[in-house]
Amino acid sequence: MSSQATATKSLIQEFNNLFATKKFHESARLAAPGATWWMSGLKENNPMAGLHTFEERLKQIESVPKSVMNWDNFEVDILELVVDETGEKAVVEAAVQIKEEDGEYRYKNQVIFLIEVKEGKIQRVKEYLDYAPIAKYIKEKEAK
């Protein structure tokens, strides 16, 4: 593995660690000015779908009410991380879940991220997720 690929792998692991510890906004320092974050889906089904700046996406994440998505109990783990030899492209498979107060996991999902890195900064994130588990989780939370 090239030194650039190793550096990219470390950058992505740091990015994941910031999310795992709910330090969403701190991850902004890992992104280049003007970096973008696209999320799959249709806006009518997923209000966060589409292309946004990295900063806008972080604000969206932080603005989700705790009653809808309890970030305190949010867990994210990298299942697989593949970086190309140049260190400019990475594919991440992550498991995300939320543990409820009763200890049960009512939201579980797997997400694929394509991440572009240049000069040690995240340039672009493309996030592919199945929105159905999120919609089901939110519907159940709202019904309570």
Q: Can you give the pLDDT of all 144 residues of the chain as single tens digits?
A: 799 999 999 999 999 999 888 898 899 999 999 999 999 999 998 889 999 999 999 999 888 877 777 788 889 999 999 999 999 999 999 999 988 888 888 899 999 999 999 999 999 999 999 989 988 888 887 887
Instruction: Determine the Cα–Cα distance for residues 62 and 27; give it in Å rounded to an integer.
Output: 12
Query: d(Cα 70, Cα 34) in Å, to the nearest integer?
Result: 29
Give the pLDDT of residue 112.
Answer: 98
Read off the tokens for 54: 């990295």
Question: Which residue type, as a one-letter code, is found at position 71?
Answer: W
Q: How many CB atoms lie within 10 A of CB 57?
A: 24
pLDDT at 102: 87
Residue 102 backbone zone (phi > 0: left; psi -120 to 50: alpha; other: beta): alpha
> Whole-angstrom Cα distance, residue 112 to residue 92?
6
What is the number of structural domains in the chain?
A: 1
Is the pTM higher than 0.75? The answer reads yes
Query: Do residues 61 and 24 lie in contact, with contact meaning Cβ atoms separated by under 8 Å?
Result: yes
CATH value at residue 53: 3.10.450.50
Classify burial at 98, counting beta carbons within 10 Å of its beta carbon; exposed 0-12, middle 13-18, buried 19 or more. buried
Range of the domain at 118: 3-143
SS3 24: coil
